Structure 1
Amino acid sequence: MLEGTEAVLAAQLRRLLPHLDERQRRLVMGAAAGVLGRGGIRVVARAAGVVESTVSRGAGELDRGPELSGRVRAVGAGRKRLVEADPGLIPALLALVEPDQRGDPESPLRWTVKSTRNWPPS
């Protein structure tokens, strides 16, 4: 491996990766690893500050060809909705607002007269 290749690669990835989505990042890192050849996945992972499996996954996606779904993540991937993780969240938030709630009770629009400036109440 050439002297300083990892430093040059790290500088390039630091400038480029923040502008890409998850899938594009994986593909760029996978392509860089492919160009470097044997040991490229480890070098790119270290230069980008990611785990080797991410770079390996990007290289695999490049080998499989373009994906036609247009999705960045797999179906069902990503963070779950907060109400699924904590079913009591919405009732708890409503209980905070209800005593000082104003407006039409039939309307989904709610507002409150609580003040963040005068918190906690005396």
Structure 2
Amino acid sequence: MRLAKYSHRKLLGLFSRDVVLTLDSIKEALGTTSKATVFRKLKSLGHRASYSHAGKYHTLDTLASYNKYGIWSFNQIYFSQQGSLVDTLEAIINKSQEGYFASELQTLVHVRVFNALTQLVVSGRVLREQIAGEYLYISKVLGTDQLARRKQSIMLCACKEEKVLIPGFGSEVVTDCLQTFLSILDERQKRLYLGLESMKLGHGGDLRLSQLTGINVKTIAKGRRELSSKNITPGRIRKVGAGRSSIKKKLMW
């Protein structure tokens, strides 16, 4: 009987040790240069390619602990039970109660989502509706109900006439003080502070604070992402090179 040249046992041992591997490291371990051989072995073991890092990394489903969205991360490398980012976003949108804004989806999957969402919309796999100045991505089948629920949530969160306010900002006095406080902050401090408040509120926090303060929802989302990344340079408002050109620089031209 002919023995398998590239054993499953060796590959399993490699994954047990390192959990996540690149294609090149698997080739080297198996002593082959053939992609077809590697993928044949991976398929038989129930492997999963990362949807982040351009699919560079691989793991086994038996090693992953997926969250309720079907996502698992290892050293900031992200994997999905659905496979690709496009399929992952479609599944999340289809299962949602009230659809998702792009900023919310990006928070869930931890990578940029614009291109994948565009692909889903163009191919007709999901729908989008503009609401509160931003596109809401909804299911083809359940989209009408999702849109209605989201509109209701926005009304409940934003409508002062109904006395339903954001937790912690439940009175006009506090809201007025918030506006005064924001007026003495620079643009960076504003977005970082509101980003922190949004994180405390959880799902939909960016939009709710945008409606309360009048600050663009994307600005608040940016502040939240900056805080999450912990990559903040003290004392600088804009990145180097950002902002308007100085008058002196313009005159030189």
Q: TM-score range by the shorter chain?
A: 0.5 to 0.7
* CA distance in structure 1 between the partners assigned to 2:202 and 2:234 by the alignment: 29
CA contact (8 A) 1:30 1:57 kept: yes
Give % identity.
31
Q: Residues 16, 23 of structure 1: CA spacing in aligned structure 2 closer, same or farther, 3 A cutoff?
A: same
Q: Residues 16, 69 of structure 1: CA spacing in aligned structure 2 closer, same or farther, 3 A cutoff?
A: closer
Write out the 4+ residue segments of structure 1 that deviate beyond 6 Å after TM superposition: none
1:22 match: 187
2:223 match: 58
Q: Residues 16, 75 of structure 1: CA spacing in aligned structure 2 closer, same or farther, 3 A cutoff?
A: same
2:113 match: none
CA contact (8 A) 1:42 1:52 kept: yes
**CA deviation after TM superposition for structure 1 residue 79, in Å:** 1.6
1:1-122 correspondence to structure 2 within 5 Å? 3-5=164-166, 8=171, 10-68=175-233, 70-85=235-250
Residue deviations 1:43-77 (CA, integer Å, cap 9, x gap): 11111111111000000011011524531210111
* CA distance in structure 2 between the partners assigned to 1:13 and 1:65 by the alignment: 25
* CA distance in structure 2 between the partners assigned to 1:83 and 1:66 by the alignment: 31
The code of the aligned residue for 2:206 comes to I
Q: Greater strand percent: which structure?
A: 2
* CA distance in structure 1 between the partners assigned to 2:175 and 2:251 by the alignment: 40
RMSD (Å) for aligned C-alpha atoms: 2.6
CA contact (8 A) 1:7 1:47 kept: no
* CA distance in structure 2 between the partners assigned to 1:4 and 1:69 by the alignment: 33
- Gapped runs of 5+ residues in structure 2? 1-156, 158-162
* CA distance in structure 1 between the partners assigned to 2:221 and 2:214 by the alignment: 14
What is the TM-score of this pair, normalised by structure 2?
0.31
* CA distance in structure 2 between the partners assigned to 1:22 and 1:28 by the alignment: 10
- Gapped runs of 5+ residues in structure 1? 89-122
The code of the aligned residue for 1:32 comes to E
- Secondary structure, aligned partner of 2:218: helix
**CA deviation after TM superposition for structure 1 residue 7, in Å:** 6.2
What is the TM-score of this pair, normalised by structure 1?
0.59
